[in-house]
Amino acid sequence: MVERTERRDRGDRGDREDRGDREDRENRSFYRRRVCKFCVEKIPLIDYKDIQTLRGFVSDRGKIIPRRISGTCAKHQRELMTAIKRARNIAFLPFTERG
């Protein structure tokens, strides 16, 4: 049988004194979660023909902006994704920007 060797000492991982002090936490700015634009304005349906609204949720490279950045809720992000894809298929929105 092969004897098991003891694991190497990987350093003192339990020492957390060097982690953020209260002073560091107090100096951080407060990040406010963005709210869903569609929920606030009570928009019942995200229309694929409303190009101005859809352009706000597409990057300059043509990518759909994720909900953690745009602040939309999961329900409206799914509707928004479908509307953007429909608008792209019938050439209301470009798939990518030229350049």
pLDDT single digits (tens) 30-67: 667 789 999 999 999 999 999 999 999 999 999 999 99
Model pTM greater than 0.85? no
Instruction: Note whether 58 and 65 are within 8 A (CB).
Output: yes
> In angstroms, rounded to a whole number, what is the distance separating the alpha carbons of residues 7 and 41?
59
Indicate the burial class of 53 (C-beta count within 10 angstroms; 0-12, 13-18, 19 or more).
middle
Range ranked top by mean pLDDT from 10-24, 32-46, 81-95: 81-95
H helix intervals, 1-99: 22-27, 37-40, 51-55, 67-70, 74-89
Instruction: Note whether 76 and 46 are within 8 A (CB).
Output: yes
- What is the CATH number assigned to the segment(s) 44-99? 4.10.640.10
Q: Across residues 68-73, what is the average pLDDT?
A: 94
